[in-house]
């Protein structure tokens, strides 16, 4: 598409933690879902990584917001500003100005009509002329490279920041699904709470996130364990500085409850799967996508517990975005896009 094309097309994976935008088959924006607004004028100050650097570090005139909570829009105005800011990033990188913008956006499979409407309104206010939507597990399946239109069952577990989406897909539709609001953010807050309770040290959301990335694990026994991660923070009682080494075993214990909820949700979705599709799933294995798929030992733990092999997608963080991009290119083929 050249400079003179009247319709520009972008695919958006609007995530609780990160937003990814694809234009012309390329990932052009991959930024944290954070905006910084001026408290007095509500003017947009920063979006994405720049806003994330300000998160939990601002003074009273700036507020940093994560517009999505649990996979849905929690702050309408901030979400609109964020989508608008990120679409601007695409246009500045691709040097286009387009009067009409076609978007395909990934949404959680458990979205209510009201939540779908909120995403649509925010996207239209941010400049989208034609807005289509696709359920995230369906997009993840396409992004992994599965043939979603075939008469055979595939199961996807997409663990994002705000929701875990579990879906069985066959013939281009979702046969059974289970969407729970336990995901990456819950693991982060489990770690925050644990550090305060166990080590008496106060840590912010970003530090807890770093602990999760560096020593997060779903198993207490790993074949190649990560080194302990050292956390610096104030003592909760005395406010004096502390230095605490954190091991992966500790984190495995403290996120145990949340991981068990994800396990139970997978079993629940399998319970509601028709027997013929169940047989396909046992043969094909279950795919893990989303940032949560990167948690050490999660695939092994689920495989041992459920008895069906779990596989991690090649690029789990971008599976939904890539699938959304494919759906955008073949909009006429995929009848399951929500208009």
CATH number of the domain to which 250 belongs: 3.90.640.10
Of the pLDDT bands very low, low, confident and very high (cuts 50, 70, 90), residue 333 is confident
pLDDT of residue 2: 47
Nearest to 176 by CA among 188, 165, 186, 168: 168
Are 111 and 191 in a shared domain? no
What is the rounded end-to-end Cα distance, in angstroms, of the chain? Answer: 23
Is 287 a residue whose pLDDT tops 60?
A: yes
Cα–Cα dist 199/204, whole Å: 14
User: Global pTM?
Assistant: 0.90
Q: Using an 8 Å Cβ cutoff, are 331 and 12 in contact?
A: no
Rounded to whole angstroms, what are the CA distances from 155 to 26, 274, 277, 322?
A: 26, 12, 9, 18
Whether residue 335 lies inside any domain: the answer is no
3-class secondary-structure state, position 336: coil
Whether residue 338 lies inside any domain: the answer is no
Summarize pLDDT for 19-43 with one digit per residue, the tens: 999 998 999 999 999 999 999 999 9
DSSP 200: -
Q: Mean pLDDT, the chain, as a whole number?
A: 91
Are 65 and 169 in a shared domain? no
Summarize pLDDT for 150-200 with one digit per residue, the tens: 999 999 999 999 999 999 999 989 999 899 999 999 999 999 999 999 999
Cα–Cα dist 298/136, whole Å: 20
Are 168 and 35 in a shared domain? no
Bridge-based pairing of strands 100-107 and 7-14 is parallel
Q: 194 lies in which domain range?
A: 184-254
Are 178 and 189 in a shared domain? no
Nearest to 261 by CA among 327, 187, 170, 315: 187
Is 90 a residue whose pLDDT tops 90?
A: no
Summarize pLDDT for 201-259 with one digit per residue, the tens: 999 999 999 999 999 999 999 999 999 999 999 999 999 999 999 999 999 999 999 99
Of the pLDDT bands very low, low, confident and very high (cuts 50, 70, 90), residue 1 is very low
Is 126 a residue whose pLDDT tops 60?
A: yes
**Per residue, what are the HEC states of 217-277?**
ECCCCCCCCCCCEEEEEEECCCCCEEEEEECHHHHHHHCHHHHHHHHHHHHHHHHCCCHHH
Nearest to 144 by CA among 162, 157, 161, 160: 157
CATH number of the domain to which 75 belongs: 3.30.420.40
3-class secondary-structure state, position 211: helix
């Amino acid at each position: 598409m050249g400079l003179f094309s009247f319709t520009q097309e972008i695919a958006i994976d609007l995530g609780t933690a990160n937003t990814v935008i694809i234009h012309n088959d390329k990932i052009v924006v991959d930024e944290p879902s954070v905006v910084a607004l001026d408290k007095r004028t509500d003017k947009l100050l920063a979006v994405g990584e720049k806003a994330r650097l300000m998160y939990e570090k601002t003074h009273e005139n700036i507020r940093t917001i994560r517009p999505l909570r649990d996979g849905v829009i929690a702050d309408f105005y901030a979400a609109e500003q964020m989508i608008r800011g990120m679409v601007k990033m695409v246009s500045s990188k691709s040097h286009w100005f387009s009067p009409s913008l076609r978007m395909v956006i990934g949404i959680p499979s458990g979205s209510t009509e009201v939540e779908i409407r909120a995403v649509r309104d925010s996207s239209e206010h941010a400049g989208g002329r034609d807005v289509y939507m696709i359920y995230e597990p369906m997009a993840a399946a396409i992004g992994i490279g599965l043939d979603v239109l075939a008469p055979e069952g595939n199961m996807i577990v997409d663990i994002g920041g705000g929701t875990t989406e579990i879906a069985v897909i066959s013939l281009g539709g979702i046969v059974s699904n289970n969407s729970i609001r336990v995901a990456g953010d819950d693991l982060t807050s489990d770690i925050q709470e644990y550090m305060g309770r166990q080590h008496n040290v106060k840590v912010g959301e970003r530090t807890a996130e770093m602990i999760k990335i560096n020593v997060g694990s779903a198993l207490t026994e790993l074949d190649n364990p990560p080194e302990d991660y050292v956390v610096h923070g104030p003592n909760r009682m005395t406010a004096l500085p502390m230095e605490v080494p954190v091991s992966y075993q500790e984190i495995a214990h403290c996120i145990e409850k949340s991981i068990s909820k994800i396990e139970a949700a997978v079993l629940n979705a399998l319970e509601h799967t028709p027997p013929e599709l169940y047989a396909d799933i046992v043969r094909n294995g279950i795919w893990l996508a989303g940032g949560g798929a990167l948690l050490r030992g999660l695939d092994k733990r689920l495989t041992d517990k459920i008895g069906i092999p779990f596989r991690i997608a090649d690029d789990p963080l971008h599976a939904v975005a890539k699938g959304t991009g494919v759906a955008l290119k073949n909009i006429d083929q995929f009848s399951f896009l929500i208009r």
